[in-house]
Amino acid sequence: MKELIPIINRHYNIQIFDIVLMRKTTGTLYKLQGKDTDYMMKCYSSKRFNLIADSLDVIQYLFEKKINSLRVIPTRNEKKMIHLEIEGVDQIGVIYSYAHGIDPNPDYDFDRIIEHMKKIHNAMKKYPNKLNYFGKSYYIDKGLEIFILKNISTVKLIEMTVIAKDLYQFIEELPRTFCHGDFSINNLIKDIDGELTVLDFDASNKNSYLLDVAVLADQTDFKILTKKQFNQTIKMIDYIEERYHKFSLQEKTAILAYIAVRHFELVGNIGSERELKDVPWDVLDEQYTWLTQYYSYFETWLSIHR
């Protein structure tokens, strides 16, 4: 990755002397070390150009409104991103301000996290630009396609399709608002003054703010599900409700439904970022078990509360 350093220095009004890989998710994140300050650079598939461009506008808007301190570093030509070729693959690179700080403590900072989430949602009600809408094709169909391409059995595929359709109907009925798309405590940083910054707006879109509530409330493990985790999630939804606003039964149902829908979304993202042969079957097998179990808990909860 050292070969990126002169490219960055040529296109930006910053001087970088080292680049360090941080992690690979739906993009590759690097830490850029400069003389006076550090930066983050995230590289994405060039196919995601339009989606990423819209998320960068959201980041800029929240920064200008002093709602969130994450900002996009422009190029010398005032562009928000550059085109790169990394290991023979066309990509786009975005440089962000580096979020110095520590991970929030869920025991001490949770109320402030809820408040910060609500502040972002309220600010985005006045967002002047059009937002992308991520619908069923993003949240459900991409994930189901991975199961199909990995030759899941017909019986299991039918079961998964029914579960996905049933769960997603609760989200389709919601009014469309702004959602961050991955409002996890893992995407927040607390600085030395105790101020919170939200990172990773890659999945931000116009669906429902309740999807952010769902991600924040989710107490389940991604791989192995227990009834205790499901019940803890119910309690967390109630806790957030006290500090956000009263949720209707329809809203609570949608929150619970999205926690499972998100698993289809994540499977789809795993598949889109890897070659199909690199997607391990054991992950999909785990997800089949997880989703059927969660759906059973969800149906029981729904039958009691309807």
- For position 71, which CATH number holds? 3.30.200.20
Domain limits for position 33: 4-97
> What secondary structure, in 3-state letters, does the chain show?
CCCHHHHHHHHCCCCEEEEEEEEECCCEEEEEEECCCEEEEEEEEHHHHHHHHHHHHHHHHHHHCCCCCCCECCCCCCCCCEEEEECCEEEEEEEEECCCCECCCCCCCHHHHHHHHHHHHHHHHHCCCCCCCCCHHHHHHHHHHHHHHCCCCHHHHHHHHHHHHHHHHHHHCCCCEEECCCCCHHHEEECCCCCEEECCCCCCEEECCHHHHHHHHCCCCCCCCCHHHHHHHHHHHHHHHHHCCCCCHHHHHHHHHHHHHHHHHHHHHHHHHCCHHHCCHHHHHHHHHHHHHHHHHHHHHHHHHC
185 with 64, same domain: the answer is no
Return the percentage of the chain with pLDDT > 70, whole number. Answer: 96
Q: What is the pLDDT of residue 16?
A: 94
203 with 171, same domain: the answer is yes
Do the domain assignments include residue 104?
no
Q: How far apart are CA 121 and CA 115, in angstroms?
A: 10
Q: How far apart are CA 190 and CA 109, in angstroms?
A: 9
169 with 301, same domain: the answer is yes
pLDDT in tens, 102-124: 999 999 999 999 999 999 999 99
146 with 27, same domain: the answer is no
245 with 289, same domain: the answer is yes
* Domain edge (last residue) among 97, 125, 149: 97
Q: 280: pLDDT confidence band, cut at 50, 70 and 90?
A: low
Do the domain assignments include residue 245?
yes
82 with 116, same domain: the answer is no
Partners of 190 in the β-ladder: 102, 196
Q: What is the pLDDT of residue 23?
A: 82
Residue 217 has pLDDT above 80, yes or no: yes
Q: Model-level pTM greater than 0.85?
A: yes
Do the domain assignments include residue 141?
yes
Q: How far apart are CA 93 and CA 210, in angstroms?
A: 30
What number is the average pLDDT over the span 130-148? 93
Residue 10 has pLDDT above 60, yes or no: yes
119 with 13, same domain: the answer is no
Q: What is the pLDDT of residue 272?
A: 64
Q: What is the pLDDT of residue 275?
A: 57
* Domain edge (last residue) among 97, 121, 140: 97
Q: What is the pLDDT of residue 276?
A: 54
Considering the chain, what is the average pLDDT of its residues? Answer: 92
Q: What is the pLDDT of residue 73?
A: 96
CATH number at residue 221: 3.90.1200.10
Q: What is the pLDDT of residue 24?
A: 78
Number of domains in the chain: 2
Residue 274 has pLDDT above 80, yes or no: no
Q: What is the pLDDT of residue 143?
A: 92
192 with 260, same domain: the answer is yes
Q: What is the pLDDT of residue 30?
A: 93
What number is the average pLDDT over the span 30-38? 91
What number is the average pLDDT over the span 15-41? 89
Q: 46: pLDDT confidence band, cut at 50, 70 and 90?
A: confident
Do the domain assignments include residue 296?
yes
Do the domain assignments include residue 140?
yes
Q: What is the pLDDT of residue 80?
A: 95
User: Cβ neighbours of residue 199 under 8 Å, at least 6 residues apart?
Assistant: 70, 99, 187, 188, 189
User: Comparing C-alpha atoms, which of 243, 245, 196, 236 is closest to residue 215?
Assistant: 236
Do the domain assignments include residue 56?
yes
What number is the average pLDDT over the span 264-276? 75
Do the domain assignments include residue 268?
yes
Residue 65 has pLDDT above 90, yes or no: yes
Q: What is the pLDDT of residue 82?
A: 94
Per the model's pLDDT, the better-predicted residue between 48 and 202 turns out to be 202
Do the domain assignments include residue 105?
no
Q: 209: pLDDT confidence band, cut at 50, 70 and 90?
A: very high
* Domain edge (last residue) among 97, 128, 152: 97
pLDDT in tens, 70-86: 999 999 999 999 998 87
Q: 271: pLDDT confidence band, cut at 50, 70 and 90?
A: low
